[in-house]
Amino acid sequence: MSIIHKDIAAIREDYSKFHLEEKDVAANPIEQFQCWFDQSVRSQVMEPNAMVLSTIGEGHFPSSRVVLLKDIKSNGFSFFTNYDSRKGRAIANCDRVSLLFFWPELQRQVRIEGRAEKLPAEDSDEYFASRPKASQLGALASPQSSIIDDRNFLQTRVDSLENKYALNDEVPRPAYWGGYLVKPVRMEFWQGRSSRLHDRVEYVNRGGDWEIHRLAP
């Protein structure tokens, strides 16, 4: 083993900040998520709404990338992206996805498994309209996940869109850009504890009801 590998192996944190008991969690995992999310915001976790979205793509390989959570609804979690992107194409073929949050400052991880569906067009319109104009033009300019020749390709497209929409306050949402709602079927809340004896509380949806279990760490 090289020196560098030894150094990596020596990196470890002991967790002792909080604990999580089955009796203290909300009956509904989305409410429990809301509670932890609020604590992350209050604790000034860096980008608390950044989450790893994993999709199942070609050849059944999972594929992961970070996206931003934009809303917590009573029935799920929403994010926005390009529907023609690699992730969009994967979801069109298989709606089973996972979301992962890691909030190191709070020694917490949340895992979500569920099904993704497109948000209604009005919701995507509303969110698109709320974005800064530069972000709107960026979404229009970028054929997300396609191979492009160079950075200049994007700049040329942005320049021409800036001209096209110079006098318009409203940039229309392109049909290929919008939101998804992930409706959870399983969620797990992980709280780091000392000596690797972490707390794990799992929610599983069975016929519309949420069962709650403790899992071994």
Ligand X SMILES: Cc1cc2nc3c(=O)[nH]c(=O)nc-3n(C[C@H](O)[C@H](O)[C@H](O)COP(=O)(O)O)c2cc1C
Neighbouring CB atoms inside 10 A of 182's CB total 26
Q: Give yes or no for residue 79 binding ligand X (CB under 6 A).
A: yes
Query: Do β-strands 76-82 and 71-73 pair in parallel, antiparallel, or remain unpaired?
Result: antiparallel
Q: How far apart are CA 114 and CA 141, in angstroms?
A: 31
Mask: binding to ligand X, 87-106, rule CB under 6 A, as x and -? x-------------------
Residue span binding ligand X (CB under 6 A) among the ranges 16-24, 74-82, 107-115, 150-158 = 74-82
Q: How far apart are CA 89 and CA 56, in angstroms?
A: 10
Mask: binding to ligand X, 12-41, rule CB under 6 A, as x and -? ------------------------------
Q: Give yes or no for residue 133 binding ligand X (CB under 6 A).
A: no
- Nearest by Cα to 153 from 175, 144, 216: 144
Give just the sign of the alpha carbon dihedral 143, 135, 45, 188.
negative
**What is the nearest approach in angstroms of ligand X to the Cβ of residue 155?**
19
**What is the nearest approach in angstroms of ligand X to the Cβ of residue 214?**
32
Neighbouring CB atoms inside 10 A of 37's CB total 20
For the annotated catalytic residues, the residue numbers are: 196
Identified binder of ligand X from the candidate list 25, 26, 67, 204, rule CB under 6 A: 67
Residue span binding ligand X (CB under 6 A) among the ranges 38-46, 60-68, 166-174, 181-189 = 60-68
Beta bridge partners of 206: 209
Q: Count residues contacting ligand X (CB under 6 A)?
A: 16
Neighbouring CB atoms inside 10 A of 213's CB total 11
Six-digit token string for 5: 């590998």
**What is the nearest approach in angstroms of ligand X to the Cβ of residue 87?**
4
**Coil, strand or helix at 44:** coil
Q: Give yes or no for residue 145 binding ligand X (CB under 6 A).
A: yes
Nearer to ligand X, 89 or 200 (CB): 89
Q: Which residues bind ligand X (CB under 6 A)?
A: 47, 50, 63, 65-68, 79-82, 85-87, 144-145
